[in-house]
């Protein structure tokens, strides 16, 4: 009994250690020194001020998307289309940056509004397809994501191509007034951190202290009884999608106006999909989301240095995060593994039924 409770207490560490071991064996299989590889990742993430700022700058849109997903997950929705909502946000911000001439204090709010509106609109399509068309949000989300990526590629190779000719890589750099003010020539803009913290606070209050949060929870837990209690599942579904899409769209604006200085190919960079992993690993607890998102950002940025130094494919970072989430899903809960059987029901109890 005491042995079991001791095991139970350290159990949450088991999937983490197992995931690390998985990656170590993978590295050994490729003849790489695991110590060197892991230190390259750590060095790539925290080796200098600039690198820490890069990790932070990558963390911001990831966190925004994750916060947004907390809303859709609460409503029981699998918003896989978030990747495309990020890209649409980037497109929305770019449209303003390329076409409006104004001082920064007008231009930047306009860009943010356009990005959030574009993300929300793209998400709303998924919501309407679900409620009106009975198309599952996973499939519409996937299709809409691919359409957003195709649209991005069209814009940068067509109407928005740089004056010297289309390169398929990106638009010309935006005017300085259009970019978020950045710290120390890095990719990180403190303004985006403030906006993200506001979003975090709003969602925290919204989910736990408002009637709308309660409605979403009801919808997520049991859509049928929520409907019977007068929660309009149609309206709440669309609003939840739009809320998430707006935050993802803001994340897209951060990508173009702070991480880059232009609209690029694969602008969303897998951040939306990664955000889904963040929220799953956090087991849908908002408080854990910022920390896990930061850890993921460090791992992914670090593995770029890994590739530069050791020629190993940078997908190792994605493998570590993916395996970690998988192992936590599979083995995270000690009780579910059935090491300790529940005492069987006594025959007397059964016969009373």
Which residues of the shown chain bind another protein in the complex (CB under 8 A)?
26, 78, 80, 129, 133-136, 138-140, 142-144, 146-147, 150-151, 153-154, 158, 273, 276-277, 280, 312-313, 315-316, 318-319, 322-323, 325-326, 329-330, 333, 336-338
Nearest approach in angstroms of CB 271 to another protein is 12
- Alpha-carbon distance of 112 to 93, in angstroms, equals 6
Q: In sequence order, what are the residues at sequence separation of 6 or more whose Cβ sits closer than 8 angstroms to the Cβ of residue 325? A: 277, 280, 281
The 3 state secondary structure assigned to 195-209 is HHHHHHHHHHHHHHH
How many other CB atoms are found less than 10 A from the CB of residue 349? Answer: 9
Asked if residue 83 lies in contact with residue 217, where contact means CB atoms within 8 angstroms, the answer is no
Nearest approach in angstroms of CB 312 to another protein is 8
- The residue among 113 and 142 lying less far from another protein, judged by its C-beta, is 142
- The residue among 227 and 331 lying less far from another protein, judged by its C-beta, is 331
- Alpha-carbon distance of 257 to 94, in angstroms, equals 8
- The residue among 210 and 339 lying less far from another protein, judged by its C-beta, is 339
Nearest approach in angstroms of CB 106 to another protein is 32
- The residue among 26 and 124 lying less far from another protein, judged by its C-beta, is 26
- Alpha-carbon distance of 211 to 9, in angstroms, equals 36
How far is residue 255 from each of residues 2, 86, 130, 261, measured CA to CA in Å? 51, 9, 28, 8
- The residue among 28 and 330 lying less far from another protein, judged by its C-beta, is 330
Nearest approach in angstroms of CB 95 to another protein is 17
Q: 63: closest CA among 254, 243, 206?
A: 254
Question: Which helix (H) or strand (E) covers residue 244, if one does?
Answer: helix 233-254
Nearest approach in angstroms of CB 208 to another protein is 23
- The residue among 104 and 223 lying less far from another protein, judged by its C-beta, is 223
Strand-pair partners of 264: 170
Nearest approach in angstroms of CB 222 to another protein is 14
Nearest approach in angstroms of CB 158 to another protein is 7
Joined tokens for residue 152: 């991005």
- The residue among 150 and 205 lying less far from another protein, judged by its C-beta, is 150
User: What radius of gyration do the chain's Cα atoms show?
Assistant: 23
- Alpha-carbon distance of 47 to 26, in angstroms, equals 24
Nearest approach in angstroms of CB 132 to another protein is 9
- Alpha-carbon distance of 195 to 32, in angstroms, equals 41
- The residue among 128 and 183 lying less far from another protein, judged by its C-beta, is 128
């Amino acid at each position: 009994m005491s042995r079991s409770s001791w095991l139970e207490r350290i159990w949450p560490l088991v999937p983490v250690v197992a995931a690390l071991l998985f990656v170590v064996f993978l590295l050994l299989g490729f003849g790489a020194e695991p110590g060197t590889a892991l230190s390259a990742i750590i060095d790539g993430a925290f080796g200098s001020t600039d690198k820490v700022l890069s990790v932070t700058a990558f963390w911001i849109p990831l966190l925004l998307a994750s916060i947004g997903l907390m809303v859709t997950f609460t409503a029981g929705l699998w918003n896989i289309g978030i990747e495309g909502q990020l890209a649409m946000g980037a497109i929305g911000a770019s449209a303003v940056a390329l076409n409006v001439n104004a001082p920064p204090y007008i231009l930047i709010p306009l860009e943010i509004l356009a990005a959030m509106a574009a993300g929300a609109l793209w998400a709303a399509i998924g919501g309407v397809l679900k409620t009106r068309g009975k198309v599952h949000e996973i499939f519409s989300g996937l299709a809409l994501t691919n359409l957003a990526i195709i649209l991005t590629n069209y814009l940068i190779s067509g109407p928005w191509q740089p004056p010297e000719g289309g390169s398929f890589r990106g638009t010309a750099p935006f005017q300085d007034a259009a970019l978020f003010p950045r710290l120390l020539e890095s990719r990180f803009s403190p303004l985006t951190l403030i906006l993200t913290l506001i979003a975090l606070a709003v969602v925290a209050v919204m989910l736990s202290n408002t009637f709308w949060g309660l409605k979403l929870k009801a919808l997520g837990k049991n859509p049928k009884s929520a409907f019977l209690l007068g929660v309009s599942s149609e309206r709440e579904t669309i609003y939840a999608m739009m809320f998430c899409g707006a935050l993802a769209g803001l994340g897209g604006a951060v990508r173009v106006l702070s991480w880059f200085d232009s609209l690029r190919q694969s602008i969303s960079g897998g951040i939306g999909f990664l955000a889904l992993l963040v929220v799953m690993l956090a087991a849908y607890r908002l408080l854990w989301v910022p920390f896990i998102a930061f850890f993921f950002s460090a791992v992914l940025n670090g593995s770029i240095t890994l590739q530069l130094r050791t020629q190993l494919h940078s997908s190792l970072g994605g493998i570590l995060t993916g395996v970690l989430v998988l192992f936590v899903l599979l083995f995270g809960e000690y009780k579910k593994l059935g090491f300790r059987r529940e005492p069987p029901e006594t025959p007397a109890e059964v016969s009373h039924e």
